[in-house]
Amino acid sequence: MEDTTFPEVVVKEAENTWGRWWGAAPPHSPTHPALHFGAIPATKKLLCFEVLVANSKHALLPGGLDVLILNHIGYSYFNYFNGDVGHIRKLLETNFLSYVAMTVSALPMLKESEGSIVVVSSIAGKTAIPFTAPYSATKFALDGFFSSLRQEFIIDKVNVSITLCILGYINTENAVRAVSHAIQDTPAPKEECALEIIKSGVLRRRELHYPSRTVGSLLLLRDIAPDFLDSLMRRAYKVENIRRT
């Protein structure tokens, strides 16, 4: 029988990574309301998380898991698609496949706690946004996979909720640096956005649209007047500020 135990050095690295992320030693409180991967590299997140789940004898998650918040992305450019298929393949590994892998690893604990999965996505995964083709592809993939998985949970009577967070332009440092030269809109506050993400998971909502008025309007136009929406999106960008690379 194949030995699937992680080597001690790998477990130790996961413990150290976990501790650095929390700012302390691995948590040992009775319950952990959320597990959020937003501060460490995606490859290490996945390894760390799988070690935490697989090595229960180390008591790294003694209180189980109630909420899994998936929120990490790989680097992509904001520009015309340059034909680099390898970049899309790499981005899918980080922005999509790692979400699936983490969900698979966490699912036994989430089923036990009847918990929640919160998937942070983007309006670029619901509508056609120019200059984001690789990124947009990964976000559409999230919608397809997790919406289908939600249906299967309902059919199979699995009481684990899935919330898809559809975010617009948020004033995170990375987003502003990447697109502020080309987007005319004012970004929404990241602090309020974070609070809405947490609330949507706790309330087990199907989707979060934030900012609600902007995202809601775009999705309505997508359904009733897609060509008009496309023209609006093209006019929303300062195309003269985007230089082909």
Cβ neighbours, 10 Å, residue 140: 18
Cβ neighbours, 10 Å, residue 202: 16
Q: 110 and 160 in contact (C-beta within 8 Å)?
A: yes
Name the catalytic one among 75, 77, 99, 135.
135
Task: Establish whether 99 is a catalytic residue.
Answer: no
Inter-CA distances, 150 with 61, 76, 155, Å: 25, 28, 9
DSSP label of 44: H
- What residues contact residue 11 under an 8 Å CB cut-off, 6+ apart? 51, 55, 58
For every residue of 214-239, DSSP letters joined together read HHHHHHHHHHH-HHHHHHHHHHTB-G
Q: Looking at the annotation, which residues are catalytic?
A: 135
